[in-house]
Amino acid sequence: MGNSCAGAFDLLIKITLKLVKRNGKLIAMREETRSLQFSHVPVLLTECLKALDLKANGTYVDCTAGGAGHSAAILQRLGSGGRLFAFDKDPTARQAAAAKLAQVKTAATYELIAADFASLREELSKRNVFAVDGILADLGVSSPQLDTGERGFAYRLEGPLDMRMNPTCGRTAADILRLEDQATLTRIMREYGEERYAARIAAAVVKTRETKPLTGTGELVDLICKAVPAAARREKQHPAKRVFQSLRIAVNDELGALRKLLQQAPGLLKPDGHLVIITFHSLEDRLVKQAFRRWERPCRCPSGLPCVCGLASQGKADPPHGLVAGKTELAENPRSRSARVRVFRRNANPPLVEIFSGEASD
């Protein structure tokens, strides 16, 4: 997963003349070559940089490099002793990030890591890094992914039902729709998309695939629009939005990866280190909020009784309710409207007892 952004691509149009033989004669044909160039505006950049409280010679991790909008800004602020490790499992994103970071004038060192942030501790330990000053994770889908039909993330664009962050491995959305039973499809749509009509849509998928499997985004959108009540089709939110979200989360095991990050990241923070996470929907925000609450107030003793569990606070969420985009950014980048930055600052002198866990609880 990469940095969510606005204006993800610049459209480049190259016009050439091509000689074509028609009826024995050579004629010049006008040909347009259109290409999309990766560019982006990172979400809540100023807030994230301030929250990380960057030290010139510190060690930092960007869990979701994307187009390196956040990574480049971090790298620019590091000195000769500074280090940046930027993770991304999307090959296209890493290519864009490599080009962006190569342009940064800095004495600091950096490395792009081709891995999911779920393996954060493992990848850092391979590099003899066991503690860092700050960790940033932008959990949003990048606009280059959303705005490229071939990736299959967008319900408004025609393309294959892929949705893989790493398009070189793993199951696609089409695979899930073809292979999973009706009960599992219903659960995926209900749990990951909070879709009211999950059962109806899952039943329609199963019925349709009896004659022809769903392979394109347009086919799925048509099926959803026919499956939901007419009133749902008239709502402001597109009827396919929640289903596409649920399939994307399932394909990439996004919540599972987030849980693993939450299990590992705080224990990797140095005293006074900062964990900064940008969430985009209630499912991931709930996991982050609950984890921060447990780390800040881990005591398990009954209310009103003296604490005997020995679980002391490891730090605090600051600010308690997170940060959201201001009016200026919302106007410039509409996709920032659902973003929330949550920050956890580890204590300057944390106790030895480690209580970190990524499991959700109510």
DSSP letter for each residue of 329-361 = HHHH-GGGGG-EEEEEEE-SS--S---------
How much is the pLDDT for 39?
58
CA 342 to CA 317: how far, in whole Å? 7
pLDDT score recorded for residue 33? 37
Q: Is the pLDDT of residue 138 over 50?
A: yes
Q: What's the whole-number mean pLDDT along residues 284-301?
A: 94
pLDDT tens-place string over residues 159-204:
999 999 999 999 999 999 999 999 999 999 999 999 999 999 999 9
Tens of pLDDT, residues 35-67 = 345 556 799 999 999 999 999 999 999 999 999
**pLDDT band for position 335 (cuts 50, 70, 90):** confident
- The predicted pLDDT at position 22 comes to 42
Residue with tokens 């664009």: 157
DSSP class of residue 118? Answer: G
User: Could you tell me which of 91, 113, 100 has the C-alpha nearest to residue 165?
Assistant: 91
Among 130-134, 146-150, 272-276, whose mean pLDDT is lowest? 146-150
Binding residues: 68-70, 88, 117, 138, 145
Q: Among 2-6, 172-176, 349-353, where is mean pLDDT lowest?
A: 2-6
* Range list for CATH 1.10.150.170 in the chain: 160-244
Closest listed residue to residue 260, CA positions, set 114, 123, 151, 97: 123
pLDDT of residue 248: 98
In this structure, which topology does domain 160-244 adopt according to CATH? DNA polymerase; domain 1 (1.10.150)
Give dist(CA 262, CA 282) in Å, integer: 16
The chain-wide mean pLDDT, for the chain, equals 88
DSSP state of 137: E
- Split at pLDDT 50, 70, 90, the class of 34 is very low
Write down the pLDDT at residue 60.
99
253-269 confidence digits (pLDDT tens): 999 999 999 999 989 99
User: What homologous superfamily is domain 1-159+245-299+309-362 in, according to CATH?
Assistant: Vaccinia Virus protein VP39 (3.40.50.150)
List pLDDT tens digits, range 234-253: 898 999 999 999 999 999 99
pLDDT (average), residues 303-314:
85
Q: Where in the chain is the domain with CATH 3.40.50.150?
A: 1-159+245-299+309-362
Three-state SS at 209: helix
How many Å separate Cα 319 from the centre of its chain?
Answer: 22
Q: Which residues are annotated as a binding site for S-adenosyl-L-methionine?
A: 68-70, 88, 117, 138, 145
Question: What three-state secondary structure class fits 158?
Answer: coil
